[in-house]
Amino acid sequence: MVLCVSILSFSLTAGRSEEWGNAWSEVRGWTVYQSEDTGCHASRNIATTMELGMLVSPAGNWEMLLSTQTAHDISVPGSWTVDGQSHETEFYSYEGWYRVPVDGPERRTLAAGRTLVVQTPTEYEAFQLDGMTAMLLKMQECWESATNPSPDSNKAPVEALPKPGTGAETPRDATRAVYGQARGWTIYSTTAYGEYSGCRMERGGGFDFSLTRNVGYWTFSLPVSLPQDTLADVILDIDRYSFDLRMIASSSGELTARIDPALVQRIAQAGVIQVVVNGASHGLSASGTQAAISKIGECDDRRGRTAAAAPAPSPRLPDRNAQPGIKPVPPHIRIPGGDSDAYKMGTGCPAVGSVKSPNLQDWGNITFVNRSDRAVLIYWLDYDGLPVEMAGLGRNEQIYINSTAGHFFVAKDSDFACHGGVIEVPLGENTHTIR
């Protein structure tokens, strides 16, 4: 498969400002204003066609604000979508702003999300939600400062991010944990505000794409650094079929876009991937994408929770050590399927678990060329030293693998002999000939 991407950046006009009282505080790029008349309002100075803000009134009512040219006092059908979770509602225009009520669960959705997409019959805009949690909590502080609620007051306390039911939940920074490995990819389970927020597949080092799935919705990402919230038209050419995407730049140095499952399947069935960004061409490996996409689907279906640990195997496993010349597998290592050939290490091979790829991010890619008289299987030795099949090579065949400098591989034939022993990936672009 050949995947080509070309990008045209938009020069967006900054949204106009409104008078919301005095600047009260700043947090994570947001400015919070305080007014006796309107309450507390938050906005940020980002060049987008539509301006995004939040408002909590003196009475404690929360609204999302979106600037608009729609006539005053008109309601239009619209939707706002956070990471694939869509909310259909009426957008009411008032003095140049759509005012959209957002209740506690909806504010929690905004706080946990990465991207907000707003759409009406005539308008479309996408925003990154960086700093949303900190901003909402700062607005709560602003409201408390302005209204001084007390048990004797007729004003109920405002909770920016209420816990389901009653009370409030202490927010936590977004985190991720390794869910599993698949053919050179690492699958991460991510959480935000203490709740599951999706699964993501990555490979370390260099320019590479990644995929995220959250409750069935897929996001395609490229490491392209553009000003935050910049929109870009992206053309993906997959096996000579072209797909148009509109992507948005995040503060983390990525372009992201929702993609449909059909496009995900095309990526899963890829052979060779080439990405062209602003005229620069990047060759990528599609090795292992089918396995990684299957693993990320499993991760998302389980909402990031790993399966229960399998019972420890018996220390006495004669099947795996029965063949002469095959190195014994340590008893604590569980063999998938009970007796996988991947775990049989013969002449020139390291013992399973004895050589581990380090968890580094140094750029290093490698092309394996098979000049031996045997067909071989290429295995990556993962972070636990376990063999992960990457590709099969017949005589005079070759494979390009997007990897990481310092990672280890072996090329093993049908007699379980490793040609050339343990192969370490050097820095940069490399070729290794198998003899």
380 beta partners: 388, 409
What's the Cα-to-Cα distance from 186 to each of 176, 180, 183, rounded to whole Å? 12, 6, 9
Q: Which two tokens stand for residue 192?
A: 């935000």
Question: What's the number of domains the chain is made of?
Answer: 3
Looking at the fold, whether 266 and 377 belong to one and the same domain comes out as: no
- What is the pLDDT confidence band of residue 306, given thresholds at 50, 70 and 90? low
In this predicted model, what pLDDT tens digit does every residue of 374-418 receive, in sequence order?
A: 888 899 998 888 888 888 787 888 888 888 888 999 999 888 899
Residue 168, Cβ neighbours under 10 Å: how many? Answer: 14
Pairwise pLDDT comparison (31 vs 327), residue with the higher score: 31
In this predicted model, what pLDDT tens digit does every residue of 253-296 receive, in sequence order?
A: 888 877 877 788 788 876 667 777 776 766 777 777 878 887 88
- CATH number of the domain at 421, please: 2.60.40.780
Cβ–Cβ < 8 Å for 239, 245: no
Domain membership of residue 81 (yes or no) is yes
Distance between CA 22 and CA 427 in Å, rounded? 54
pLDDT at 205: 65
Domain membership of residue 334 (yes or no) is no
Pairwise pLDDT comparison (61 vs 67), residue with the higher score: 67
In this predicted model, what pLDDT tens digit does every residue of 226-246 receive, in sequence order?
A: 787 677 777 777 767 777 777
H or E, element range at 411? strand 408-412
Looking at the fold, whether 96 and 210 belong to one and the same domain comes out as: no
Domain membership of residue 425 (yes or no) is yes
Looking at the fold, whether 140 and 178 belong to one and the same domain comes out as: no
Looking at the fold, whether 142 and 191 belong to one and the same domain comes out as: no
Domain membership of residue 256 (yes or no) is yes
Can you give the pTM of this predicted structure? 0.40
For residue 26, give its domain range: 14-147
Looking at the fold, whether 177 and 133 belong to one and the same domain comes out as: no
Instruction: State the pairing for strand pair 428-434/363-370.
Output: parallel
Cβ–Cβ < 8 Å for 299, 189: yes
Domain membership of residue 158 (yes or no) is no
- CATH number of the domain at 214, please: 2.60.40.1880
Looking at the fold, whether 201 and 122 belong to one and the same domain comes out as: no
Domain membership of residue 258 (yes or no) is yes
Calculate the dihedral angle through the C-alpha atoms of 331, 333, 336, 341, rounding to the nearest 10 degrees.
Answer: -70
Domain membership of residue 105 (yes or no) is yes
Q: Which two tokens stand for residue 49?
A: 């066609």
In this predicted model, what pLDDT tens digit does every residue of 12-27 receive, in sequence order?
A: 333 334 568 899 999 8
Domain membership of residue 372 (yes or no) is yes
Q: Which two tokens stand for residue 241?
A: 């079929």
Give, in degrees to the nearest 5, the angle at Cα 162 between 156 and 164: 120
Cβ–Cβ < 8 Å for 128, 229: yes
What's the Cα-to-Cα distance from 171 to each of 53, 108, 143, 253, 397, rounded to whole Å? 21, 10, 19, 24, 53
What's the Cα-to-Cα distance from 77 to each of 80, 81, 89, 97, rounded to whole Å? 11, 14, 6, 15
Average pLDDT, the chain: 77
